Structure 1
Amino acid sequence: MAGVLFEDIFDVKDMDPEGKKFDRGDKFRLVVASTLREDGYPDDGEWNPNDSSSSRADSFEYVMYGRIYKIEGDDGTGDATRLAAYVSFGGLLMRLQGDPNNLHGFEIDKPVYLLMKKLAF
Protein backbone atom coordinates (compact mmCIF):
# COMPACT_ATOMS: atom_id res chain seq x y z
CA MET A 1 0.00 0.00 0.00
CA ALA A 2 1.26 3.42 -0.92
CA GLY A 3 2.10 5.64 2.02
CA VAL A 4 2.35 2.77 4.54
CA LEU A 5 5.60 2.85 6.51
CA PHE A 6 4.93 -0.12 8.82
CA GLU A 7 2.17 -2.71 9.16
CA ASP A 8 1.76 -5.75 11.40
CA ILE A 9 -0.75 -7.86 13.31
CA PHE A 10 -0.15 -8.28 17.03
CA ASP A 11 -1.35 -10.97 19.45
CA VAL A 12 -2.16 -9.96 23.03
CA LYS A 13 -0.15 -12.25 25.32
CA ASP A 14 0.00 -10.21 28.54
CA MET A 15 -2.48 -7.76 29.95
CA ASP A 16 -2.01 -4.56 31.90
CA PRO A 17 -4.79 -4.37 34.50
CA GLU A 18 -4.47 -0.56 34.56
CA GLY A 19 -4.32 -0.10 30.78
CA LYS A 20 -6.37 -0.71 27.64
CA LYS A 21 -8.88 -3.52 28.02
CA PHE A 22 -7.80 -6.43 25.85
CA ASP A 23 -8.45 -10.10 26.38
CA ARG A 24 -5.69 -12.67 26.13
CA GLY A 25 -5.63 -13.97 22.56
CA ASP A 26 -7.05 -10.78 21.02
CA LYS A 27 -5.40 -9.66 17.80
CA PHE A 28 -5.12 -6.16 16.46
CA ARG A 29 -3.76 -4.60 13.29
CA LEU A 30 -1.40 -1.66 13.56
CA VAL A 31 -0.43 0.53 10.60
CA VAL A 32 1.93 3.51 10.58
CA ALA A 33 1.34 5.60 7.45
CA SER A 34 2.62 8.88 6.06
CA THR A 35 -0.82 9.84 4.71
CA LEU A 36 -4.47 8.94 5.17
CA ARG A 37 -5.05 9.06 1.42
CA GLU A 38 -5.48 5.62 -0.15
CA ASP A 39 -3.52 6.67 -3.25
CA GLY A 40 -0.43 7.49 -1.15
CA TYR A 41 -0.27 11.17 -2.08
CA PRO A 42 0.53 13.52 0.84
CA ASP A 43 -2.42 15.05 2.64
CA ASP A 44 -2.61 18.55 4.08
CA GLY A 45 -2.58 17.28 7.68
CA GLU A 46 -6.05 18.62 8.46
CA TRP A 47 -9.24 16.67 9.07
CA ASN A 48 -12.48 17.92 7.54
CA PRO A 49 -15.66 16.20 8.81
CA ASN A 50 -17.53 17.36 5.70
CA ASP A 51 -15.06 15.73 3.30
CA SER A 52 -16.84 12.85 1.56
CA SER A 53 -13.77 11.27 -0.05
CA SER A 54 -12.68 7.90 1.31
CA SER A 55 -9.79 7.79 3.72
CA ARG A 56 -7.54 5.07 5.09
CA ALA A 57 -8.93 6.01 8.53
CA ASP A 58 -12.41 4.77 7.53
CA SER A 59 -11.29 1.14 7.99
CA PHE A 60 -9.82 1.63 11.48
CA GLU A 61 -11.23 2.16 14.97
CA TYR A 62 -8.44 4.33 16.35
CA VAL A 63 -6.28 6.94 14.58
CA MET A 64 -3.56 9.24 15.95
CA TYR A 65 -1.45 11.92 14.26
CA GLY A 66 2.16 12.40 15.34
CA ARG A 67 5.68 13.32 14.32
CA ILE A 68 8.93 11.33 14.21
CA TYR A 69 11.38 13.10 16.52
CA LYS A 70 14.31 10.70 16.77
CA ILE A 71 15.83 7.72 14.96
CA GLU A 72 18.70 5.75 16.43
CA GLY A 73 20.63 2.62 15.52
CA ASP A 74 22.84 0.17 17.36
CA ASP A 75 25.82 1.65 19.16
CA GLY A 76 28.14 -0.85 17.50
CA THR A 77 30.47 -0.17 14.60
CA GLY A 78 29.43 -0.67 10.99
CA ASP A 79 25.88 -0.92 9.69
CA ALA A 80 23.11 -0.93 12.29
CA THR A 81 21.38 -4.27 12.74
CA ARG A 82 18.44 -2.66 14.60
CA LEU A 83 16.84 0.75 14.26
CA ALA A 84 14.48 2.51 16.63
CA ALA A 85 12.09 5.23 15.50
CA TYR A 86 10.57 7.51 18.15
CA VAL A 87 7.22 9.19 17.46
CA SER A 88 5.36 11.74 19.58
CA PHE A 89 1.57 11.81 19.35
CA GLY A 90 1.05 15.04 21.28
CA GLY A 91 2.98 13.75 24.29
CA LEU A 92 2.03 10.07 23.97
CA LEU A 93 5.33 8.52 22.90
CA MET A 94 5.99 5.42 20.80
CA ARG A 95 9.25 3.58 20.18
CA LEU A 96 9.20 1.21 17.23
CA GLN A 97 12.31 -0.95 17.00
CA GLY A 98 13.19 -3.40 14.27
CA ASP A 99 15.22 -4.35 11.25
CA PRO A 100 16.43 -1.31 9.23
CA ASN A 101 14.80 -2.75 6.09
CA ASN A 102 11.39 -2.52 7.80
CA LEU A 103 11.93 1.06 9.00
CA HIS A 104 13.50 2.59 5.88
CA GLY A 105 10.66 5.10 5.29
CA PHE A 106 10.98 6.74 8.70
CA GLU A 107 12.60 10.22 8.65
CA ILE A 108 13.09 12.74 11.44
CA ASP A 109 10.41 15.47 11.60
CA LYS A 110 8.13 13.54 9.24
CA PRO A 111 4.42 13.48 10.19
CA VAL A 112 2.83 10.03 10.55
CA TYR A 113 -0.53 8.47 11.36
CA LEU A 114 -0.95 5.47 13.64
CA LEU A 115 -4.06 3.43 12.81
CA MET A 116 -5.37 0.50 14.86
CA LYS A 117 -8.28 -1.89 14.80
CA LYS A 118 -9.18 -5.05 16.67
CA LEU A 119 -9.42 -8.13 14.47
CA ALA A 120 -12.23 -10.65 14.83
CA PHE A 121 -10.58 -14.07 14.59
Structure 2
Amino acid sequence: MAVNNCWSCGVICISKAELQKHLHEATNFDVSTFPWDDDRYLNPFLQDDSLLYSFGEDEEDEEGDAISVDRKELASYLSQFEQIDIHDEVASNVCGSELRIACENGGKDVVLTMTSFHFDEIIKVINIDNQVVYDKVSRIKAKGEEDDCYLELDVQSDLYPMLPGEKYRMLISSTLSMDGSSVPGNFPEGKEKSLADKFDYVMHGLLYKMSEAEEKKDGGKGGVKVVVYISFGGLQLMLKGDPLKMHKFRVDQRLFLLLRKI
Protein backbone atom coordinates (compact mmCIF):
# COMPACT_ATOMS: atom_id res chain seq x y z
CA MET A 1 0.00 0.00 0.00
CA ALA A 2 1.28 3.46 -0.85
CA VAL A 3 0.91 4.85 2.65
CA ASN A 4 3.77 6.19 4.75
CA ASN A 5 4.89 8.72 7.31
CA CYS A 6 5.93 11.86 5.47
CA TRP A 7 8.21 14.04 7.57
CA SER A 8 9.62 13.91 11.06
CA CYS A 9 6.44 15.57 12.29
CA GLY A 10 4.49 12.42 11.51
CA VAL A 11 2.14 13.77 8.84
CA ILE A 12 0.63 10.93 6.84
CA CYS A 13 0.87 10.51 3.09
CA ILE A 14 -1.41 8.20 1.14
CA SER A 15 -1.35 7.85 -2.62
CA LYS A 16 -4.22 9.37 -4.57
CA ALA A 17 -5.03 5.98 -6.06
CA GLU A 18 -5.35 4.42 -2.60
CA LEU A 19 -7.55 7.24 -1.34
CA GLN A 20 -9.69 7.09 -4.46
CA LYS A 21 -10.14 3.35 -3.97
CA HIS A 22 -11.20 3.77 -0.35
CA LEU A 23 -13.63 6.61 -1.03
CA HIS A 24 -15.14 4.60 -3.87
CA GLU A 25 -15.67 1.60 -1.54
CA ALA A 26 -17.04 3.78 1.26
CA THR A 27 -19.44 5.81 -0.86
CA ASN A 28 -20.00 3.65 -3.95
CA PHE A 29 -19.10 6.71 -5.98
CA ASP A 30 -16.54 6.85 -8.76
CA VAL A 31 -14.25 9.56 -7.43
CA SER A 32 -11.77 8.99 -10.26
CA THR A 33 -13.85 11.48 -12.24
CA PHE A 34 -13.02 14.23 -9.75
CA PRO A 35 -10.24 16.72 -10.57
CA TRP A 36 -6.95 15.79 -8.89
CA ASP A 37 -4.84 18.66 -10.20
CA ASP A 38 -1.84 19.75 -8.15
CA ASP A 39 -3.55 22.94 -7.04
CA ARG A 40 -6.77 21.24 -5.98
CA TYR A 41 -7.90 20.62 -2.43
CA LEU A 42 -10.16 17.98 -0.99
CA ASN A 43 -11.89 19.91 1.80
CA PRO A 44 -14.00 18.17 4.43
CA PHE A 45 -16.68 19.94 6.42
CA LEU A 46 -18.28 18.30 9.44
CA GLN A 47 -21.91 17.22 9.04
CA ASP A 48 -23.01 15.25 12.10
CA ASP A 49 -20.83 12.10 12.05
CA SER A 50 -19.86 12.50 8.42
CA LEU A 51 -17.53 14.74 6.46
CA LEU A 52 -18.64 16.43 3.29
CA TYR A 53 -15.71 16.39 0.87
CA SER A 54 -15.86 19.19 -1.66
CA PHE A 55 -13.47 19.34 -4.58
CA GLY A 56 -12.49 22.82 -5.73
CA GLU A 57 -9.59 25.09 -6.62
CA ASP A 58 -9.27 26.48 -3.09
CA GLU A 59 -10.83 26.33 0.34
CA GLU A 60 -13.41 28.99 -0.51
CA ASP A 61 -14.67 27.27 -3.66
CA GLU A 62 -18.25 26.11 -3.15
CA GLU A 63 -18.99 25.15 -6.74
CA GLY A 64 -17.09 21.87 -6.88
CA ASP A 65 -18.56 18.38 -6.73
CA ALA A 66 -18.98 16.79 -3.33
CA ILE A 67 -19.38 13.44 -1.60
CA SER A 68 -19.94 12.50 2.02
CA VAL A 69 -18.02 9.86 3.99
CA ASP A 70 -18.04 8.82 7.64
CA ARG A 71 -15.11 10.37 9.54
CA LYS A 72 -14.63 7.45 11.93
CA GLU A 73 -14.77 4.95 9.08
CA LEU A 74 -12.03 6.81 7.21
CA ALA A 75 -9.86 7.05 10.32
CA SER A 76 -10.37 3.34 10.99
CA TYR A 77 -9.34 2.52 7.44
CA LEU A 78 -6.12 4.51 7.70
CA SER A 79 -5.24 3.12 11.13
CA GLN A 80 -4.94 -0.42 9.76
CA PHE A 81 -1.47 0.49 8.55
CA GLU A 82 0.74 -0.21 11.56
CA GLN A 83 3.48 2.19 10.50
CA ILE A 84 1.06 5.11 10.80
CA ASP A 85 -0.20 7.01 13.82
CA ILE A 86 -2.90 9.34 12.58
CA HIS A 87 -2.52 11.70 15.54
CA ASP A 88 1.29 11.67 15.77
CA GLU A 89 1.33 15.39 15.15
CA VAL A 90 -1.59 17.72 14.69
CA ALA A 91 -2.08 20.89 12.69
CA SER A 92 -4.12 23.28 14.82
CA ASN A 93 -4.57 26.13 12.36
CA VAL A 94 -7.50 24.64 10.44
CA CYS A 95 -10.82 25.96 11.75
CA GLY A 96 -14.23 24.47 11.12
CA SER A 97 -13.17 21.00 10.00
CA GLU A 98 -11.93 17.81 11.58
CA LEU A 99 -9.69 16.66 8.76
CA ARG A 100 -7.91 18.30 5.88
CA ILE A 101 -6.58 16.50 2.84
CA ALA A 102 -4.34 18.51 0.56
CA CYS A 103 -2.43 17.59 -2.58
CA GLU A 104 1.31 18.11 -2.16
CA ASN A 105 4.66 16.77 -3.34
CA GLY A 106 4.00 17.66 -6.95
CA GLY A 107 0.53 16.18 -6.83
CA LYS A 108 1.78 12.65 -6.12
CA ASP A 109 0.45 12.33 -2.59
CA VAL A 110 -2.43 13.41 -0.44
CA VAL A 111 -1.44 14.71 2.99
CA LEU A 112 -3.79 14.22 5.94
CA THR A 113 -3.74 16.13 9.21
CA MET A 114 -6.25 15.75 12.04
CA THR A 115 -7.54 18.72 14.05
CA SER A 116 -10.10 17.24 16.41
CA PHE A 117 -8.55 18.50 19.66
CA HIS A 118 -9.69 21.33 21.91
CA PHE A 119 -6.19 22.81 22.14
CA ASP A 120 -2.85 21.93 20.56
CA GLU A 121 0.01 24.40 20.87
CA ILE A 122 3.73 24.70 21.51
CA ILE A 123 4.16 26.55 24.81
CA LYS A 124 7.23 28.12 26.42
CA VAL A 125 7.63 28.19 30.22
CA ILE A 126 8.31 31.76 31.36
CA ASN A 127 8.12 31.39 35.15
CA ILE A 128 7.69 28.77 37.89
CA ASP A 129 6.33 29.25 41.41
CA ASN A 130 7.11 26.40 43.80
CA GLN A 131 5.32 27.95 46.79
CA VAL A 132 1.77 28.44 45.49
CA VAL A 133 -0.03 25.15 45.97
CA TYR A 134 1.10 21.94 47.67
CA ASP A 135 4.38 20.21 48.43
CA LYS A 136 5.97 18.77 45.29
CA VAL A 137 3.61 20.83 43.12
CA SER A 138 4.76 23.76 40.98
CA ARG A 139 2.64 26.35 39.21
CA ILE A 140 4.10 27.07 35.81
CA LYS A 141 3.34 30.17 33.80
CA ALA A 142 3.72 29.81 30.06
CA LYS A 143 2.74 31.41 26.78
CA GLY A 144 2.14 30.14 23.28
CA GLU A 145 5.05 30.10 20.87
CA GLU A 146 3.21 32.68 18.75
CA ASP A 147 2.33 34.69 21.88
CA ASP A 148 -1.42 34.16 21.30
CA CYS A 149 -2.23 32.30 24.52
CA TYR A 150 -1.25 32.37 28.19
CA LEU A 151 -1.66 29.72 30.86
CA GLU A 152 -0.99 28.87 34.48
CA LEU A 153 -0.80 25.15 35.26
CA ASP A 154 -0.18 23.16 38.44
CA VAL A 155 2.20 20.27 37.77
CA GLN A 156 3.40 17.53 40.12
CA SER A 157 7.02 18.60 39.95
CA ASP A 158 8.53 15.49 41.55
CA LEU A 159 7.10 13.43 38.68
CA TYR A 160 7.48 15.97 35.88
CA PRO A 161 9.92 18.82 36.59
CA MET A 162 9.69 21.78 34.19
CA LEU A 163 12.13 24.69 33.87
CA PRO A 164 11.85 28.27 32.58
CA GLY A 165 12.78 28.55 28.91
CA GLU A 166 11.78 24.99 28.07
CA LYS A 167 9.25 24.32 25.32
CA TYR A 168 6.48 21.75 25.40
CA ARG A 169 3.71 20.57 23.20
CA MET A 170 0.46 20.85 25.17
CA LEU A 171 -2.66 19.12 23.96
CA ILE A 172 -6.17 19.13 25.44
CA SER A 173 -8.61 16.51 24.20
CA SER A 174 -11.88 14.91 25.24
CA THR A 175 -10.53 11.48 24.31
CA LEU A 176 -7.31 9.50 24.13
CA SER A 177 -8.52 7.56 21.11
CA MET A 178 -6.11 7.81 18.18
CA ASP A 179 -8.92 8.50 15.69
CA GLY A 180 -10.38 11.30 17.80
CA SER A 181 -13.60 9.42 18.51
CA SER A 182 -15.31 9.05 21.87
CA VAL A 183 -14.67 5.78 23.69
CA PRO A 184 -16.28 4.33 26.83
CA GLY A 185 -14.08 4.80 29.88
CA ASN A 186 -11.03 6.97 30.22
CA PHE A 187 -8.46 4.91 28.34
CA PRO A 188 -8.56 2.63 25.28
CA GLU A 189 -8.60 -1.01 26.35
CA GLY A 190 -6.19 -3.82 25.62
CA LYS A 191 -3.20 -3.27 23.35
CA GLU A 192 -4.82 -0.43 21.43
CA LYS A 193 -2.52 2.58 21.15
CA SER A 194 -3.67 5.85 22.65
CA LEU A 195 -2.56 9.47 22.58
CA ALA A 196 -0.98 8.91 26.00
CA ASP A 197 1.68 6.77 24.31
CA LYS A 198 2.91 9.91 22.52
CA PHE A 199 3.26 12.13 25.60
CA ASP A 200 5.23 12.24 28.86
CA TYR A 201 2.65 13.61 31.30
CA VAL A 202 -1.14 13.13 31.26
CA MET A 203 -3.92 14.47 33.52
CA HIS A 204 -7.71 14.08 33.42
CA GLY A 205 -10.02 16.74 34.80
CA LEU A 206 -13.22 18.78 34.66
CA LEU A 207 -13.76 22.15 32.99
CA TYR A 208 -15.73 23.98 35.68
CA LYS A 209 -15.68 27.61 34.57
CA MET A 210 -15.38 29.82 31.49
CA SER A 211 -15.19 33.59 31.21
CA GLU A 212 -14.09 36.42 28.95
CA ALA A 213 -11.29 38.87 29.64
CA GLU A 214 -10.51 42.18 27.99
CA GLU A 215 -6.85 42.37 27.08
CA LYS A 216 -5.25 45.65 26.07
CA LYS A 217 -2.67 45.65 23.33
CA ASP A 218 -0.04 48.16 22.30
CA GLY A 219 -1.68 51.28 20.98
CA GLY A 220 -4.56 51.19 23.45
CA LYS A 221 -6.84 48.84 21.49
CA GLY A 222 -8.20 45.87 23.41
CA GLY A 223 -9.14 42.35 22.43
CA VAL A 224 -11.42 39.83 24.09
CA LYS A 225 -9.89 36.54 25.24
CA VAL A 226 -11.69 33.39 26.34
CA VAL A 227 -10.53 31.99 29.69
CA VAL A 228 -11.12 28.38 30.72
CA TYR A 229 -10.56 26.83 34.15
CA ILE A 230 -9.98 23.08 34.52
CA SER A 231 -9.44 21.15 37.75
CA PHE A 232 -7.36 17.97 37.67
CA GLY A 233 -8.15 16.54 41.09
CA GLY A 234 -7.26 19.86 42.71
CA LEU A 235 -4.43 20.81 40.37
CA GLN A 236 -5.57 23.80 38.34
CA LEU A 237 -5.26 25.05 34.78
CA MET A 238 -6.12 28.58 33.73
CA LEU A 239 -5.88 28.95 29.95
CA LYS A 240 -6.47 32.22 28.13
CA GLY A 241 -6.64 32.37 24.36
CA ASP A 242 -8.21 33.72 21.20
CA PRO A 243 -11.93 32.89 20.85
CA LEU A 244 -11.32 31.26 17.46
CA LYS A 245 -8.96 28.75 19.06
CA MET A 246 -11.11 28.17 22.14
CA HIS A 247 -14.45 27.46 20.49
CA LYS A 248 -14.60 23.75 21.42
CA PHE A 249 -14.48 24.29 25.18
CA ARG A 250 -17.70 23.92 27.19
CA VAL A 251 -18.41 23.92 30.94
CA ASP A 252 -18.70 20.41 32.48
CA GLN A 253 -16.53 18.78 29.81
CA ARG A 254 -14.13 16.11 31.05
CA LEU A 255 -10.81 16.61 29.32
CA PHE A 256 -7.33 15.16 29.09
CA LEU A 257 -4.27 17.40 29.24
CA LEU A 258 -1.08 15.97 27.74
CA LEU A 259 2.47 17.39 27.79
CA ARG A 260 5.61 16.46 25.90
CA LYS A 261 8.93 18.27 25.99
CA ILE A 262 10.14 19.59 22.63
Q: 1:17 Cα deviation (Å)?
A: 5.6
Counterpart-to-counterpart distance in 1, 2:184 and 2:225: 32
Unaligned runs of 5+ in 2: 1-113, 132-137, 139-156, 215-222
Q: 1:3 Cα deviation (Å)?
A: 3.3
Counterpart-to-counterpart distance in 1, 2:130 and 2:238: 22
Map residues 1-121 of structure 1 onto 2, 5 A cutoff.
1-16=114-129, 19=138, 20=157, 21-47=161-187, 51-74=190-213, 81-119=224-262
Structure 1 or 2: more helix by fraction: 2
Q: Answer yes or no: is the 8 Å Cα contact 1:2–1:38 preserved in 2.
A: no
Across the two proteins, how many residue pairs are aligned to each other?
114
Q: Structure 1, residues 48-85: CA drift from partner, whole Å, max 9, x if none?
A: 6x61111111000111111111111137xxxx821111
Q: Structure 1, residues 1-38: CA drift from partner, whole Å, max 9, x if none?
A: 34311011122333446633334432111100111011
Unaligned runs of 5+ in 1: none
Counterpart-to-counterpart distance in 1, 2:162 and 2:256: 22
Counterpart-to-counterpart distance in 1, 2:130 and 2:231: 24
Counterpart-to-counterpart distance in 2, 1:24 and 1:93: 19
Q: 1:102 Cα deviation (Å)?
A: 0.8
Q: Answer yes or no: is the 8 Å Cα contact 2:176–2:186 preserved in 1.
A: no
Counterpart-to-counterpart distance in 2, 1:66 and 1:23: 24
Counterpart-to-counterpart distance in 2, 1:22 and 1:47: 25
Answer with 1 or 2: which has the greater Rg. 2
Q: 1:45 Cα deviation (Å)?
A: 2.9
Counterpart-to-counterpart distance in 2, 1:2 and 1:24: 28
Change (3 A) 1:82 1:13: closer
Counterpart-to-counterpart distance in 2, 1:87 and 1:39: 24
Q: Answer yes or no: is the 8 Å Cα contact 2:187–2:194 preserved in 1.
A: no
Let me know the Cα RMSD of the aligned residues. Answer: 2.1
Change (3 A) 1:5 1:116: same
Name the aligned partner's letter for residue 57 of structure 1.
A
Name the aligned partner's letter for residue 234 of structure 2.
G
Q: Answer yes or no: is the 8 Å Cα contact 2:207–2:228 preserved in 1.
A: yes
Identical counterparts, % of pairs: 35
